[in-house]
Amino acid sequence: MVDLSDAPVIDTHLHGWRTSELLDAPAAGFADRVTMLGMCVLTSGGDPAEFSDVLARATATTPLALALLARLGEQLGCEPTNEAVGAARLERLRADATGYLQELWRDARIEGLVVDEGFPLPIIPSADLEREAGIPVHRVVRIEPWIAEQRDAAEGYDELEDALSAHLEAAAAEGAVAFKSVIAYRTGLDITHPSPADARGAFTRWRQDSFRETRGHAKPVRDRLLERTLEVASASGVPVHIHSGGGDPDSLVPHARPAGLFDLLKRHPHQPVLLIHAGWPWTDEAAFMASILPHVYLDLSIGIPWGSLAIDRLIETALGLAPPSKVLYGSDEASEPEVAWFAAHVAREALERVLSTGVERRWLTPAQATVIGNDVLAGNCRRLHGIAA
């Protein structure tokens, strides 16, 4: 009933890649690498070989892997097996990586990528990625790699904070569309409100502790720097992306619930903050906060595409609880660029199903539902980040 087949897509959250690394990765591991489990083993520094039995068994029945192989096999004109798809895509990447990817972007109507440059490291310059991907790339600057680089040289907390402010101001002036924090991977998302004196004392102790990532010494420093990031973003006119919810095994899952951000968000009611991953798997919590705080937004990545059979539920929750004008599509592709293509397709189809149900149940007219679908796939992201159509 609701047809979004022509709706353009901007991917609000994903990560860059190097074509040379795509070519070097073993073809046999392709299907494992696109599953949540396989990808998380890699991104948290594990060795897939150590878990080969369990990965093989899991991948063989994981809907995401099966659907991706089926769809990519169809796109490439080969059998939907790991071997055939792994070989066919490698052949295309070797022959003309940019041309291959541009075919995928056109097929899924993807018009732009909002790329978190904090993973992988070292940073892939956005101009390089844009050239390799053959599509506009919009840069998101992550604060944690910068803090790790600069903390040794800083005299004390104040110098670190001033330098971070200058770094972020310069990045915004150079065209970065957002700042990003993954504090849930460092000291937790339950953000406190330390005074400048607390932060100064904690920085001294943190340094004496060789910058170990403890909640005692590191946390007051990181919490205060995140607060400062929101202030600089406000002055620079850019949104802040904050990882919310669980991530790979390096995230502090016991301290990753989105409600931990509530006080911080309440202190900055006019600063747009995009909750990356919509607090997945605690989406209800994040969607509820977006329903009561004017400038809190939701990014649907991780749940899309890895939630597979649960994607419709995710979209129902986000669009039902939060204003649809604050819900943004993202893929969180972080291993193979085909995931961004696949995610755009499954998001479009899930949005069509959920919005069609909304029409059937007389919440929306078909025209209203179509506007919402287009906004979630691209319009809301363009508006929030100032990305022209």
Question: How many angstroms separate the CA atoms of 354 and 349, rounded?
Answer: 9
* Residue that has been written with the tokens 């971070």 in this structure: 164
- Beta carbon of residue 160, minimum distance to Zn ion (angstroms, whole number): 25
Tokens of 78: 């080969």
- Beta carbon of residue 119, minimum distance to Zn ion (angstroms, whole number): 6
Q: Identify which of residues 196 and 249 has a Cβ nearer to Zn ion in the complex.
A: 249
- Beta carbon of residue 13, minimum distance to Zn ion (angstroms, whole number): 6
**Residues β-bridged to residue 327:** 298
Question: How many angstroms separate the CA atoms of 285 and 23, rounded?
Answer: 40
Q: Identify which of residues 190 and 332 has a Cβ nearer to Zn ion in the complex.
A: 332
Give the Cβ contact number of residue 200 at 10 Å: 18
Element housing 139 (H / E): strand 137-142
Instruction: Give me the sheet containing 273-276, strands edge to edge.
Output: 9-14, 110-116, 137-142, 178-181, 240-243, 273-276, 296-299, 327-328
Residues that bind Zn ion (CB under 5 A): 332
- The residue nearest Zn ion at its CB is 332
Q: Identify which of residues 55 and 242 has a Cβ nearer to Zn ion in the complex.
A: 242
Q: Identify which of residues 220 and 246 has a Cβ nearer to Zn ion in the complex.
A: 246
Q: Identify which of residues 76 and 340 has a Cβ nearer to Zn ion in the complex.
A: 340
Backbone phi, psi, residue 189, to 5° = -90, -5
* Residue that has been written with the tokens 């890649």 in this structure: 17
Q: Identify which of residues 32 and 332 has a Cβ nearer to Zn ion in the complex.
A: 332
Question: How many angstroms separate the CA atoms of 339 and 64, rounded?
Answer: 10
- Beta carbon of residue 236, minimum distance to Zn ion (angstroms, whole number): 22
